[in-house]
Chains A and B, each alone.
Chain A
Amino acid sequence: MELIANLGLGFETALSPVNLLYCFVGVLLGTLVGVLPGIGPTATIAMLLPITFSLSPVTALIMLAGIYYGAQYGGSTTAILINLPGESSSAVTAIDGYQMAKKGEAGPALATAALGSFFAGTVATLVLALAAPPLARAALNFGPPEYFSLIVLGLVASIALAHGSILKALAMIVLGLLLGMVGQDIYTGTPRFTFGFFELYSGLNFVSVAVGIFGVAEIVRNLEDETTRDVMIKRVSNLWLTRAQFRRIAAPVVRGTILGSALGVLPGGGHVLSSFASYSMEKKLSKRPQDFGKGAIEGVAGPESANNAAAQTSFIPMLTLGIPAHPVMALMIGAFIIQGITPGPNVINDEPALFWGIIVSMWVGNLMLVLLNLPLIGLWVKLLTVPYRVLFPAIIVFASLGCYAIASNNFDVYAIAVFGIIGYVLVKLGCEPAPLLLGFVLGPLLEEHLRRAMILSRGDPMIFLHRPISAVLLALAVLALVVAVLPSVRKKRDEVFVEED
C-alpha cells in the first residue's frame, strides 16, 4: 500500500523530536492567538514568518500549520466562555456554546468542541492524504493556460464565498493584483511602480502588507470602541460528557466533518462558511429546533467539527496546486517560497518527507490540541483577563521587529504603516481585506502564466478556450460569478454571513 508507506514516512518526519517540539510550539501559539480576540492567525503567521528562516523547511511549515489549526481550537474557547468569537469561524459556536456556559455547562461545551474538532481533524487529515496525490498528478499536466484559468477561478470563487458587496470584492482583488505588480518585471527587469525607490525593486514585502492590512487595521478598528470584556466563567468544571450527551453529538460531529471536509477545499474562507452551513443543517435536522440558540449541544458539535475539518482540507489546493484558498494559505505559500521551495504539484514528488510530514503533523497537532485544551483550560481562562491595552502594543512591537528582521530594511516597517492606513480606510468603507491579499500573492503568478500562455499561442487569447481543462475552469469561474449575483443566492449568502460581523 502506497498510502501506508507514505504515512510511515510522514510519521517518521513528524515524530522527530525537533518537529514535535515546533509542532507543539505552533499549536500552543495558535491556541493563544485563537483565544485572544483581536489577533488572528493571519497576523500571527505573518509576524512569525521571519523567525522561521532559521528552521528547516519541514519544521517551519509544521509550526506555521500548527498556528493555523490551533487558532481554530482556541477561538471556540473564547466563543463559549465570553460570547466573543476569538476567530471568525467560531462565531457560530458562540450562539449555543455561550448559552450552555450560562447554564453551567461550559465543561461539556468545551469538551464537545475539543472532541468534535479532534474527530474532524483526524478524518480530514485522511481525506487530505487520499485526495492530494491524484490531484497533484493531474496538476502536473497543467500548462500556463490551465494555471492562468485556475488562478482566475480561485480568485473569483473567493469572492463568491465571502460576504459583502461583490463589486467591491472584485475591485479589491484587482487592486491586490496591481500591488503585486510592484517591483522588477520578471522578463525585462524593468522596475515598475517603484517611484524610484531602490527598496521596492524586489516588490512590496508581503509580510508588511499582511501585517498592515490584517494586524494594524484591526487594532485601529478595535480602538474605535475600547470596551473591557468580562470573563463570566472563572472556573470550569466537569470537562467530560455523559453517555447521553455523547449520543447526541455523534451524528452532528460526523455530518459536520463531511460538510467541512468538502467545503474547506473551496477558496475564500470555506472554514467560516462550513460552520454556518453545519449550524443551519443541524437546526433543520433536529427534532427540537426550538432548542437552538438556547444551548443545544448539537449547535456546538456540528459547527466546531465542520470548521476544523475545513481548516485541514483547505491545505489541499495549497499543497497540490500551489494556489492558496485564503490569506493564511497565501502566507504558507510565502513560507514555502522563503524556504526556496516552489509550491505546486512537484512538492509531493520532490519533497515527499516535507509533504507527508506536514500532513501527519496535523494529526499529531490535533492530538496535542486535545491535551492542551482540556486540562489546561484554566490557563486559557486566565489569559482572557489580559487587557487589550497591554496586548496590542505587543503586537505592534513584534510586527515592526519581525518585518525589519527579514531583510534589515526599514522600508518594510514603513510599508506596514501605509498598508495599515489603506486597510483601515477600505474596511471602513465596507471592503473586505482578504481578496486584496489573495490578489497580491497571486498577481505575479497570474501575470507570468498569462504572458507565457500568450507567447505559446502567438498572441491569440482564444487559447484559454481551446484548451479543454482551461475552458472548463474558466466556465466554472463565470458560473461562480453568475451564481453569486443571482438574487436568490445573494439573499441566502447574506443570511449565512450576517452574523459574522
Chain B
Amino acid sequence: MDRAGIKDILSGLLFVGFGAAFGYAATGYPLGTAFRMGPGYFPLLLAGALAVLGVAILIKGVTAAAADSPVGVVPWRGALFLLGALVYFGATVRGLGLVLALFGTALLSALASRHNAPLAAVAIAAALTVACVAVFHYGLGVTVPLFGPWLR
C-alpha cells in the first residue's frame, strides 16, 4: 500500500465518486435557469466542482515524487464494535427501552478496547447505564420509556 501519493490517490477517487453520485442524483431534480434556480442547479454546480477537485487531487497523487506517509493500521475490531454499538442503540431504543439499549450500547463500545476484559466491560456498561438513567431519565426528564413494548 505504501506507494507514492497513495493518500491523495484514494481521497481523490473518493471525492470524484462523491461528486459523481451527487451530480447524478442532482440531474433528477428540475435545474431551472440562472435567473430562477431549481432545486438541482446549485447541487449540480457543487458536484461538478467536487469532481474537478477530486481529479486534481488524484493527479497530484499519481505524479507525486516522494512517498506519502503510510496510511497505517486500521483498528477493525474496535471500529466494528463501535459501529455495532451505535446501530444497536438505533435499532433497539424504541423496542427494548432506555435501560437495555443503553446497557447493550455501553457493553459493545467497552468491548471495542483491547484493554477491557469481558467482565470489566460488563461492569463499565452497568455503571454507565445506571448513571445515564439517573441523569437523563430522572434528572433531565428525557421521555424515552425505561422498558419498551418488546418486553411487555
Q: Report A's interface with B, CB cutoff 8 A.
A: 51, 54, 165, 167-168, 170-171, 174-175, 177-178, 181, 185, 187-188, 190, 192-193, 216, 219-220, 223-224, 226, 228, 387-390, 392-394, 396-401, 404-405, 408, 410-411, 413-414, 416-417, 420-421, 424-426, 428-431, 447, 450-451, 454-455, 458-461
Instruction: Given A393-B125, A401-B136, A405-B136, verify A178-B37 contact (CB < 8 Å).
Output: no
B-side interface size class = 35 or more
Q: Is the interface of B mostly helix, strand, loop or mixed?
A: helix
Instruction: Given A392-B109, A392-B113, A404-B144, verify A413-B90 contact (CB < 8 Å).
Output: yes
B10 within 8 A of A: yes
Does the CB pair B42–A447 fall under 8 Å? Answer: yes
Interface string of B101-121 (1 = CB under 8 A from A): 010011001101111100000
B149 within 8 A of A: no
Across the interface, A396 reaches (CB within 8 A) one of B42, B54, B85, B98, namely: B85
Across the interface, A174 reaches (CB within 8 A) one of B53, B60, B109, namely: B53
Interface string of B36-59 (1 = CB under 8 A from A): 111110110011011001101100
Instruction: Given A192-B29, A396-B82, A398-B132, verify A224-B87 contact (CB < 8 Å).
Output: no
Across the interface, B15 reaches (CB within 8 A) one of A171, A187, A411, namely: A171
B66 within 8 A of A: no
Closest Cβ of chain B: how far from A168's Cβ, in Å? 6
Does the CB pair B11–A181 fall under 8 Å? Answer: no
Does the CB pair B11–A192 fall under 8 Å? Answer: no
Tell me which residues across on chain B come within 8 A of A404, comparing CB atoms.
89-90, 93, 144
Find the residue from A401, A410, A451, A461 having the highest chain B CB count within 10 A: A401
Closest Cβ of chain B: how far from A105's Cβ, in Å? 33
Closest to B120 in A: A389
Across the interface, B39 reaches (CB within 8 A) one of A187, A405, A411, namely: A187
Closest Cβ of chain A: how far from B76's Cβ, in Å? 10
Does the CB pair A421–B94 fall under 8 Å? Answer: no
Tell me which residues across on chain A come within 8 A of B146, comparing CB atoms.
none
Across the interface, A401 reaches (CB within 8 A) one of B56, B57, B142, namely: B142
Does the CB pair A389–B115 fall under 8 Å? Answer: yes
Closest to A387 in B: B115
Tell me which residues across on chain B come within 8 A of A417, comparing CB atoms.
83, 86-87, 90
Give bound CA distance, A404 to B11, whole Å. Answer: 31
Top 4 A-B pairs, shortest CB-CB distance:
A459-B35, A413-B90, A223-B78, A185-B39
Q: Is the interface of A mostly helix, strand, loop or mixed?
A: helix
Across the interface, B89 reaches (CB within 8 A) one of A193, A394, A413, A459, namely: A413
Closest Cβ of chain A: how far from B37's Cβ, in Å? 5
Tell me which residues across on chain A come within 8 A of B113, comparing CB atoms.
223, 226, 388-389, 392
Does the CB pair A216–B25 fall under 8 Å? Answer: no
B4 within 8 A of A: no
Does the CB pair B110–A181 fall under 8 Å? Answer: no
B34 within 8 A of A: yes
B18 within 8 A of A: yes
Give bound CA distance, A192 to B60, whole Å. Answer: 32
Give bound CA distance, A91 to B57, whole Å. Answer: 29
Tell me which residues across on chain A come within 8 A of B151, comparing CB atoms.
none
Does the CB pair B18–A175 fall under 8 Å? Answer: yes
Give bound CA distance, A265 to B45, whole Å. Answer: 30
Across the interface, B49 reaches (CB within 8 A) one of A174, A397, A400, A405, namely: A174
Other A-B pairs beyond A165-B8, A461-B34, 13, CB < 8 Å:
A181-B42, A185-B29, A188-B38, A219-B112, A220-B75, A392-B109, A400-B93, A405-B136, A410-B89, A417-B83, A420-B86, A426-B11, A450-B37
Does the CB pair B39–A223 fall under 8 Å? Answer: no
Instruction: Given A171-B15, A223-B78, A405-B142, verify A188-B10 contact (CB < 8 Å).
Output: no
Tell me which residues across on chain A come within 8 A of B100, comparing CB atoms.
none
Closest to A211 in B: B86
Across the interface, A178 reaches (CB within 8 A) one of B18, B102, B142, namely: B18
Tell me which residues across on chain B come within 8 A of A178, comparing CB atoms.
18, 22, 43, 46-47, 50
Tell me which residues across on chain A come within 8 A of B144, comparing CB atoms.
401, 404-405, 408
Give bound CA distance, A402 to B11, whole Å. Answer: 31
B65 within 8 A of A: no
Tell me which residues across on chain B come within 8 A of A192, comparing CB atoms.
25-26, 29, 39-40, 43
Does the CB pair A429–B79 fall under 8 Å? Answer: no
Give bound CA distance, A175 to B34, whole Å. Answer: 22
Closest Cβ of chain B: how far from A229's Cβ, in Å? 13
Does the CB pair B115–A226 fall under 8 Å? Answer: yes
Instruction: Given A177-B46, A405-B144, A410-B91, verify A219-B82 contact (CB < 8 Å).
Output: yes
Does the CB pair A174–B87 fall under 8 Å? Answer: no
Find the residue from B35, B83, B109 having the highest chain A CB count within 10 A: B109
Does the CB pair A454–B35 fall under 8 Å? Answer: yes
Tell me which residues across on chain A come within 8 A of B112, comparing CB atoms.
219, 223, 392-393
Does the CB pair B140–A51 fall under 8 Å? Answer: yes
Does the CB pair B89–A400 fall under 8 Å? Answer: yes
Give 27 A-B contacts (CB < 8 Å), ordered by A residue: A165-B8, A167-B56, A171-B11, A178-B43, A178-B46, A178-B47, A185-B39, A192-B26, A192-B39, A219-B82, A224-B72, A224-B74, A393-B85, A393-B125, A396-B106, A397-B102, A400-B105, A410-B89, A410-B93, A417-B87, A421-B83, A426-B11, A428-B71, A428-B72, A430-B11, A454-B34, A459-B34
